Structure 1
């Protein structure tokens, strides 16, 4: 996967048809699973700095901050960039009827099923494939 562009194309796919993204994730080779997972985590981490979190409603627990950050990423590149440019526009909490993004959890489950381990760090070697 050519990292940034392909990542956001997959996020757009998930916006329009979550089942198609689930299918795409389930077919990804190991290296692409790792790349998607860590790109998502890094994009969300960019939204966890004080300049963003000070606009969230209390209580600002780690889980709450993570849920909001992951949800923002799941809304696509345009929305993500608008928040990055103007941190005060981050939603103070998840919108009504919104759910935290399932994508890192989906990747984690698929990875653990396939490789019997948590998603590796990018710099770690890939696991041996099961026979």
Structure 2
């Protein structure tokens, strides 16, 4: 399914299909994402990191946290895991918060969070500063 055909509520419009296309391309593989981001300029890596963080933050409050384990690290891991799964999965969670996983402990390998920061440090010698 094409990311443009997956609709999110209007207040999620700041998370672009450009971002979701990169997530789709990576297919939950950190190395694939790293290669894609390494080919980008500074502004696009920052844009990607900002949109990843924004998408995850949307999930770090009620009603989503009602279904998650209570630790702050657990909530962050779950939100990052959901974003890493792509726009269709993300949209399902947004539209059906009860589908939010309680925990992703033991299943964190597909989490793509942090890759943009790694690439940014490798290319520019400093972190993105967007967390």
Question: Following TM superposition, by how much is the alpha carbon of 1:55 offset from its aligned partner in structure 2, in angstroms?
Answer: 0.7
Instruction: Select 1:62's aligned residue among 72, 79, 95.
Output: 72
List runs of 5+ in structure 2 lacking aligned partners: 1-14
CA deviation vs aligned residue, 1:61-87 (integer Å, no higher than 9, x gap)? 211100000000011101100100111
Instruction: Select 2:82's aligned residue among 69, 72, 82.
Output: 72
Matched positions, count: 116
d(CA) in 2 for partners of 1:20 and 1:109?
Answer: 13
d(CA) in 2 for partners of 1:116 and 1:102?
Answer: 23
User: Normalised by the size of structure 1, how large is the TM-score?
Assistant: 0.78
Question: What residue in structure 2 maps to residue 128 of structure 1?
Answer: none
1:53 lines up with 2:65 in the alignment: yes
List runs of 5+ in structure 1 lacking aligned partners: 122-131
Question: Which protein, 1 or 2, shows the higher relative CO under an 8 Å CA cutoff with sep ≥ 6?
Answer: 2
Over the aligned positions, Cα root-mean-square deviation in angstroms equals 2.0
- Where does structure 1 differ by over 6 angstroms across 4 or more consecutive aligned residues? none
Query: Taking structure 1 as reference, are residues 111 and 18 closer, same or farther at Cα in structure 2, changes over 3 Å only?
Result: closer
Instruction: Select 1:26's aligned residue among 20, 35, 38.
Output: 38
The answer as to whether partners of 2:33 and 2:115 remain within 8 angstroms in 1 is: no
